[in-house]
Amino acid sequence: MADGYKKEVDHISGVETTGHEWDGLKELNNPLPKWWLYIFYATIVWAIGYWVVYPSWPLVSSYTAGVLGDSQRANALAAFEAGMAERAQIGEKLVNASLEEIESTQSLLEFAMANGRAAFGDNCAACHGTGALGATGYPNLQDDNWIWGGSLEEIHQTLQYGIRSGHDEARVGEMPAFGTSGMLDKTQITQVANFVGSRAGLEPEAGVDLAAGEQVYVENCAACHGDDLKGMKEVGAPNLTANNYLYGKSIDAIRAQVTNARNGVMPAWAPRLDPATVKSLAVYVHALGGGN
């Protein structure tokens, strides 16, 4: 209130003013509504009661626990532990069941699919994509062209121990670098690349001797990929007549692979994930539509 202020009553409203005036407008000293004050006082009482009953005041190294000793953190941890116990119980059933039993038992299948989908997103999608369609160097898991086989057991085996992962049980099969090692010269590589491409539905380059390319194939490639170019999953040799190639389907891509073969690595998941999760992944991947 300004010094020397004298009470003044607004002649229109009959309410005393506060003494504040802006551009001829005087502020009325209206009291707050009683209902508002009662609510405000009630919130103060409620806050004090809450401080007493529930954890609230921070201390040096902890906090006041409150009369009820309730803790949302403790509640969340208890719910988490209960969920993990339930998951472990179902997981034990997965571990003890065969892959075929999991697929034929509705409750186990539902859990395996949900668990496998989550595990795939966390561990596999970075390479194979969220939709499992793969990319150059990473197999499409939704087609039926599986280098190491796409049955439930074969997928489970691959997931457990990986491919060229260094694990003792890993699938191992390496294509030689025919060009960089000097096993074939550039002319032979071009010939065999065009021969393979022609058998895979590609248009061969002009002037290339396909008969010579077939001879190069028979002498260097047929032992793994077969005389019919259909491949051998026992050694991880892909089907060369398939619609898609892991490292690209073109004459140039085939030539590059023959010259300096790329042998990709898939990690072994058995040491990283629990057995129930590995089985769940096998069931989930198998259900994507590819494989056998």
pLDDT greater than 70 at residue 4: no
In order, the DSSP letters of the chain are --TT----B-TTT-PBEEEEEETTEEEE-PPPPHHHHHHHHHHHHHHHHHHHHSS--B-SSSB---SS---HHHHHHHHHHHHHHHHHHHHHHHHHS-HHHHHH-HHHHHHHHHHHHHHHHHHTHHHH-TTS--BTTB--TTSS--TT--SHHHHHHHHHH-BSSS-TT-B------TTTTTSS-HHHHHHHHHHHHHHTTPPPPTT--HHHHHHHHHHHTHHHH-TTS--BTTTTB--TTSS--TT-SSHHHHHHHHHS-----B---TTTS-HHHHHHHHHHHHTTS---
Q: What is the pLDDT of residues 112-129, one digit of tens each?
A: 999 999 999 999 999 999
* Residue 175 labeled ligand binder: yes
Q: Which residue has the higher pLDDT, 100 or 88?
A: 100
For residues 16 and 177, the model is more confident at 177
Contact 281, 116 (CB under 8 A): yes
pTM of the model: 0.72
Digit-coded pLDDT (tens) for 58-69: 888 888 888 888
Is residue 231 scored above 70 in pLDDT? Answer: yes
| Mean pLDDT over each residue of the chain, to the nearest integer | 92
Residue 30 confidence (pLDDT): 87
Residue of higher predicted confidence among 162 and 28: 162
The pLDDT-based confidence of 20 (bands split at 50, 70, 90) is: confident
Please report which confidence band the pLDDT of residue 79 belongs to, taking 50, 70 and 90 as the band edges: very high
- Whether 9 has a pLDDT exceeding 90, the answer reads no
pLDDT at 291 over 80: no
Is 225 annotated as belonging to a binding site? yes
Q: Is 156 annotated to bind ligand?
A: no
20 labeled part of a ligand binding site: no
| pLDDT band at residue 2 using 50, 70 and 90 as cut-offs | low
286 has binding-site annotation: no
